[in-house]
Amino acid sequence: MTTKKKSRSAAEPETAAAPDPREPLPQNAASWQAVLGELETVLKDIPPPAEPKPNDLVEAMLHIHFADGLACGYGQEARRRIAESFVDRNEFRVTEAFEVEELLSDLGIPKLFERCTWVRESVSQTYNDQNGVNLDFLRNLGVGDRSNFFQRSPALRPHVAAFLNNVLTIEELCFSDKSTLRVQQKLGMDPKDEKANAFIAQLRAMLKPYGHLPLCVGKDLPSGKPNLDHVLSPACILVRLLPGAKKRG
């Protein structure tokens, strides 16, 4: 694969800055109800899989790298193009950042080359650490061990590490058969609060057919443009319930 450098135009189009759609929400009953309403709306456009299965955490990492500060449709379209353009993650691992930038250049994602560089470094560091491009092991790690992994993988920027941690926390709330008391406390929920318990019950029922927190907002568009029918995917709707869900670095 060629490694020649690409000359980039200084006038590269970029999406205008806008309020961050993933800003954390207050931890209260009003936020829980708002989240349920948003989830119900977007899930109507996301058919459940034939077989429920957990999130692919590498996909979650790629998603937030490219959707950070933007609607989830940008992350969805970026992930689709990467999946279609590379045979597997090992091939993607050895590509150059500018090649990924070329692939996504028409999307108008701000600081695209910087994002592509961090993505490449993140995938490379994950491979070097695990001898494979897979982050599912994070589910089995305690808080301390997970933090140690992120510390020795500096390419996983603070806002990416925060997103992955929060996805894992919400997964635990939605799908774990064990006690969710720790997660409820992290979400500011009183275990004796009837509204909190009703929220959890509704949330688990809504997501049970999926077995994961969807990162998409609906069908990919045949035009290759981002699907902007909904601003946020179910995963990104839910991580807003956690403090520090958005950390830039």
Integer angstrom CA distances of residue 119 from 27, 62, 156: 31, 7, 8
> Any idea where the domains of the chain sit in the sequence?
29-239
SS3 track for 30-53: HHHHHHHHHHHHHHCCCCCCCCCC
133 and 93 in contact (C-beta within 8 Å)?
Answer: yes
Q: State the 10-residue block means of pLDDT for the chain, 249 residues long.
A: 43 58 94 97 97 95 97 98 94 94 97 97 92 92 91 92 95 93 93 95 98 98 96 98 60
Structure tokens at 2: 């060629």
Q: Which residues of the chain form beta strands (DSSP E)?
A: none
d(CA 246, CA 111): 17
d(CA 119, CA 124): 8
pTM for this predicted structure: 0.89
Structure tokens at 8: 């980039």
d(CA 95, CA 104): 14
Tens digits of residue pLDDT in 2-12: 344 444 444 44
d(CA 140, CA 72): 27
